[in-house]
Amino acid sequence: MERFDLYIDGSFDAGAARFASFDPATGAQWAEIAEAREAEVDRAVAAAGRAFREGPWPAMTATARGKLLMKLSDLVQAAAPDLARLETRDTGKIIRETSAQIAYVADYYRYYAGLADKIEGAHLPIDKPDMEVWLRREPIGVVAAIVPWNSQLFLSAVKLGPALAAGCTVVLKASEDGPSPLLAFARLVHEAGFPPGVVNVITGFGPTCGARLTTHPGVDHIAFTGGPETARAVLRGSAENLASTSLELGGKSPFIVFADADLDSAVNAQIAGIFAATGQSCVAGSRLIVQDSVKAGMLATLAERAARIVIGAPGDMATEMGPLCTARQRDRLHGIVTASVEAGAKLICGGVLPEGPGTYYPPTVLDCTGLPDAPCLREELFGPVLSVMGFTDEAEALGIANDTAYGLASGLFTRDLARAHRMIRALRAGVVWVNTYRAVSPMAPFGGHGLSGHGREGGLAAALDYTTVKTVWLRTSEDPIPDPFVMR
């Protein structure tokens, strides 16, 4: 039985209690996890506050912070195979996915290592001849970074990297579902040599850990990835301390295919968009909107390809789809599929609970043409379920695509460049992928609007989210200040 501890103020901590972690592929317990409750949260936030105000971190140059991040990136790259195995064991994500993704996580830390001493202020050409005015960008303070179990090392990097580059300190909360990779990552933070309290890594349950962290008076900024309902609770909690927030929430991403598209490429991208990571991705291309003239052929190809997907043990490199992370997730997903079929959706493939151990669910395609309010079209499913709608022309495709409260990602397949530009302008989404899907880079901002949240992760925009602007006025004249009763 493996054991994982919290990381608070530069030391490992057994926590208030311990809870079990289960292998989604077998249902067997494999690890014990230290649980943070209110006392541990308080200690972590206090440690982050001290580290922000005192000691070596606030005195460190931006270049020195960048060197620490560069060392962390090297350690992540070296440990990537072990971290990938942990994430696969604890979450059920296939090893092909975790190996590639975690290896790329190191590049995010390298990017922010290089950006640390390039977060610049500005000199203002002020309209007063006896004044020099400039802007300083300063770290916002203590950051509560809260991530879900899926892609947790990646979702941590896009928060931790820019926050540390900006000079903040962080309390990083892992999900209670599958937290072992982040608790193991804490060992790399320790090895990299960050001063105590600069990075704290905890996990625990919503009422005793998450609620205390998001309402804590010592927290200045909350960076949250998760679902809209939890985000609402986070926002209500942030009213207690007036912390600023950045929210990366769910999606119901449209995947639009016109008849002139390269259909082979569109099918491959759609497979990647909904069945990769077993559909457990905020950018899952869960709504296929395909032109009527090619819809039947594309559905047939998708069904045939879905039948060939290799479902198996997530630790096997041959596996293409593993289990869902939790049983409650699978039960919810199957309930929505069943309700959608009862509402009139046509089941093209999948949709049947498999027998045997583990929380597996088959690749599922539902034709929902003419059923705009089918449950599978409205709710984020977070699983391998594709909902399909047909369309006749560009205007109808756009209307269907934007008929959602979410606005995170979108995909568009067409060879018509003018049409692509029209659609790019009109799609209400923070990310538009054209003739590709599910591509990311440290340099590219990522985020959405509406129920998909606000703020951006990635690129310079993310680092600026962790800063505040200080305006400095310096009077250069040696003459006495004029009339003190008149604002200058």
Catalogue the active-site residues. Answer: 248
d(CA 407, CA 337): 23
CB 452 within 8 A of CB 408: yes
CB 21 within 8 A of CB 182: no
